[in-house]
């Protein structure tokens, strides 16, 4: 079970970053919640495998580095989720066991970005995102551009301090307009209103935020000085009179069945609302009862969110076509009659591979249900086989690549089919796009649309041609969407990318099985590109966590003459081929070889990163969580729960003096 728990932790942390920090989720909220629920259940059954970095202990995400940190005086908690009415009845029973006679308030759950607003002596002084619940991002100037936030409370009495919590959102009409403008300008469109609102609030220029027509509903009073209230309803009435747009109270009742009827009422009207909602929230009305119940590590016990399933629409598949990826893999896609789902018009969805098509028996002319994973990625969720007429056509993967007409082969032991054409334009396009992406060489301005334009105009034919674009400025100015400023910005980004550390270049090459983490490991263990090219499989597998499949892949890549030719061209164009991180992690001894350390607490004169470097340079391995495989727990001041876990498991506990003495003698 430990393996599955570790898998879930890694998977959920990845999707949490995509949702909270990048505003680009790739799975639905429901799918994320189901994974989180599975993890919580496993951790309850096997508490010894629960790590301190478990997503079940986290609320949101780490604050972005571009904004100043704000420590929330009142922790901004998340809500526990209910997916069935049985979950709601269980919530009700837990409250009854505390000898509380509950009165519930039912509200819509707005799909936006949660923020805190703080007022001193009636004046708005600071606004921040939720972040990880304890620390958020200071976005005061951006929030001031939202006209629905009063800069001065509209009341006569002076309130020394007030903190409220609300949800910033973009309504459907504003979302439609902003995407229409983006399409006209050739810019990337937002996936949904929630992402648009989150992206707008995280703009470094408040003028951009001001143009986005954001709105806000206040849904909770976090703290107030000078006035006492008995109920949640009273607080919302007060806040409304003070000038806030407060969340609508749909129903107040002591009867949980009546509340459930209200949930069904909200769901029946869901599509008619001017803004997106993703559920309903049930809260205790009595504030004293809330204090009695308190909170868990991340969520209040006095409230719960009922999550609606993703919106689904019926349509008809008109065609199944394939796209060629940067590795040559052919991905089948469905083209269907356009439908509006989760606020946007969609007409295509990925069908992943032939196994997915065959297992779901998806055919051209089938009636299907479509939804958007994470309200972003269109997907086919069900074939309505009872609506088949006999005119449905089975799909077969083509024998020839639709772009270059080279042979298509089925990959061994996989469901994937691949074009074997070396110069296939589809692969070149995807390779260029990947090379320029933010996590690779980070060349802003070379978007998917720009890459395709440059390929069509023969301005670039391969990766190295990117670095010759400065010689073609006169041609660039004649391309639609490229003015003098955008061209200068693009050329500056290209020039800047030459100084990237070598791990970005390795990742940008798109070597099979070599992701961002593997690229960093390579950069940490080789001083330059020539060393990497000349290394053998054993050199790579000797790196901790670097597997044989990855090693064979990178060694095989550099045996290709085309790959060596590309590297040589990039060298001539001045791209950095040295590892800037190698000197920082190069081993100086093997005194800690084979030993695994966990670090807890604070240390005078040393940061944790410095201690990790010391251990790594001397052959040791540092992990974040205690397990039976841990050899040493390095303890500083104010250690956390890891100390007690180590004592239970009989792990040796050492201090920094003992670590240093081990290295000296």
Contact indicator for 103, 286 with CB cutoff of 8 Å: yes
Quick check: helix, strand or coil at residue 72?
Answer: coil
**Three-point CA angle 607, 611, 614, nearest 5°:** 140
Contact indicator for 420, 407 with CB cutoff of 8 Å: yes
* Helix boundaries (H) for 366-468: 425-436, 448-456
Return d(Cα 216, Cα 209) in angstroms, integer: 13
Beta bridge mates, 226: none
Indicate the Cα dihedral angle 387, 392, 396, 400, nearest 10°: -130
Quick check: helix, strand or coil at residue 229?
Answer: coil
Region of 627 (left: φ > 0; alpha: ψ -120 to 50; beta: rest) is: beta
Contact indicator for 372, 379 with CB cutoff of 8 Å: yes
Beta bridge mates, 286: 231
- For residue 290, the number of C-alpha atoms closer than 13 Å in the C-beta half-sphere is 19
Is 512 a known active-site residue? Answer: no
Contact indicator for 349, 379 with CB cutoff of 8 Å: yes
Catalytic hit among 18, 108, 109, 172: 109
Q: Which of these, 493, 515, 498, 497, lies nearest to 506 by C-alpha position?
A: 515
User: In what helix (H) or strand (E) does residue 241 lie, and over which residues does it extend?
Assistant: helix 232-241
> Burial level of 493, CB count in 10 A (0-12/13-18/19+)?
middle
Q: Residue 383: which residues within 8 A CB-CB, separation 6 or more?
A: 360, 361, 362, 363, 366, 367, 368
Q: Residue 427: which residues within 8 A CB-CB, separation 6 or more?
A: 324, 325, 326, 327, 328, 419, 421
Return d(Cα 187, Cα 572) in angstroms, integer: 33
Contact indicator for 168, 113 with CB cutoff of 8 Å: yes
Instruction: Outline where DSSP puts E strands in 249-387.
Output: 249-253, 277-284, 303-307, 313-324, 329-341, 344-350, 363-364, 367-373, 377-383
Tallying the residues shown for the chain, one arrives at: 665
Strand pairing of 277-284 and 113-120? unpaired
Return d(Cα 613, Cα 582) in angstroms, integer: 12
Active site residues: 109
């Amino acid at each position: 079970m430990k393996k599955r728990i570790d898998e879930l932790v890694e998977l959920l942390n990845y999707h949490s970053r995509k949702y909270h920090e990048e505003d680009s989720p790739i799975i639905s909220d429901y799918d994320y919640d189901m994974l989180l629920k599975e993890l919580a259940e496993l951790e309850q059954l096997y508490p010894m495998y629960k790590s301190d970095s478990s997503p079940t202990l986290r609320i949101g995400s780490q604050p972005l580095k571009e904004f100043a940190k704000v420590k929330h005086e009142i922790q901004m908690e998340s809500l526990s989720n209910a997916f069935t009415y049985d979950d709601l009845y269980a919530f009700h029973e837990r409250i009854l066991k505390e000898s509380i006679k509950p009165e519930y308030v039912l509200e819509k759950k707005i799909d936006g970005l949660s923020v805190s607003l703080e007022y001193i002596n009636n004046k708005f002084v600071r606004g921040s995102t939720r972040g990880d619940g304890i620390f958020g991002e200071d976005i005061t100037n951006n929030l001031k551009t939202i006209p629905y936030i009063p800069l001065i409370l509209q009341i006569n009495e002076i309130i020394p301090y007030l903190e409220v919590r609300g949800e910033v959102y973009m309504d459907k009409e504003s979302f439609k307009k902003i995407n229409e403008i983006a399409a006209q300008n050739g810019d990337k469109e937002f996936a949904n209103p929630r992402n648009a609102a989150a992206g707008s609030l995280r703009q470094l220029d408040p003028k951009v935020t001001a143009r986005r027509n954001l709105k806000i509903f206040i849904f909770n009073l976090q703290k107030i000085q000078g006035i006492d209230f008995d109920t949640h309803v009273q607080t919302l009435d007060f806040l409304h009179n003070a000038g806030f747009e407060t969340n609508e109270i749909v129903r107040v009742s002591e009867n949980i069945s009546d509340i459930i009827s209200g949930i069904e009422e909200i769901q029946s009207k869901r599509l008619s609302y001017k803004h997106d909602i993703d559920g309903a929230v049930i809260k205790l009305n009595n504030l004293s009862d809330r204090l009695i119940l308190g909170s868990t590590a991340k969520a209040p016990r006095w409230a719960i969110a009922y999550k609606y399933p993703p919106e689904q629409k019926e349509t008809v598949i008109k065609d199944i076509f394939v796209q060629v990826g940067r590795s040559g893999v052919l991905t089948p896609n469905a083209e269907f009659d356009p439908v509006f789902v989760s606020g946007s018009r969609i007409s295509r969805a990925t069908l992943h591979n032939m196994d997915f098509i065959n297992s779901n028996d998806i055919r051209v002319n089938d009636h299907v249900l479509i939804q958007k994973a994470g309200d972003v990625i269109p997907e086919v969720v069900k074939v309505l086989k009872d609506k088949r007429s006999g005119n449905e056509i089975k799909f077969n993967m083509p024998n020839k690549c639709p772009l270059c007409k080279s042979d298509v082969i089925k990959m061994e032991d996989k469901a994937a089919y691949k074009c074997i054409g070396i110069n296939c334009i589809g692969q070149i396009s995807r390779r260029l796009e990947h090379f320029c992406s933010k996590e690779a060489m980070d060349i802003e301005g070379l978007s998917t649309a720009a890459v395709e334009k440059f390929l069509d105009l023969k301005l670039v034919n391969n990766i190295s041609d990117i670095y010759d674009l400065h010689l073609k400025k006169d041609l660039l100015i004649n391309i639609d969407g490229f003015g003098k400023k955008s061209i200068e910005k693009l050329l500056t980004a290209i020039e800047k990318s030459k100084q990237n550390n070598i791990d970005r270049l390795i990742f940008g090459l798109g070597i099979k099985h070599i992701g961002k983490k593997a690229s960093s490991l390579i950069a940490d263990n080789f001083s330059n590109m020539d060393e990497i090219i000349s290394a053998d499989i054993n050199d790579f597998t000797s790196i901790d966590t670097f597997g044989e499949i990855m090693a064979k892949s990178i060694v095989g890549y550099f045996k290709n003459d085309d790959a060596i030719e590309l590297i040589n061209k990039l060298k001539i164009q001045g791209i950095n081929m040295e590892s800037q991180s190698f000197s920082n992690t190069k081993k100086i001894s093997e005194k800690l070889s084979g030993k695994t350390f966990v670090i807890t607490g604070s240390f005078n004169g040393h940061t944790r990163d410095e201690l990790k470097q010391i251990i790594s340079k001397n052959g040791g391995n540092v992990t974040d969580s205690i397990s039976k495989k841990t050899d040493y727990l390095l303890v500083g001041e104010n250690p956390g729960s890891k100390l007690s876990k180590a004592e239970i498991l009989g792990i040796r506990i050492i201090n920094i003096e003992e670590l240093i003495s081990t290295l000296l003698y």
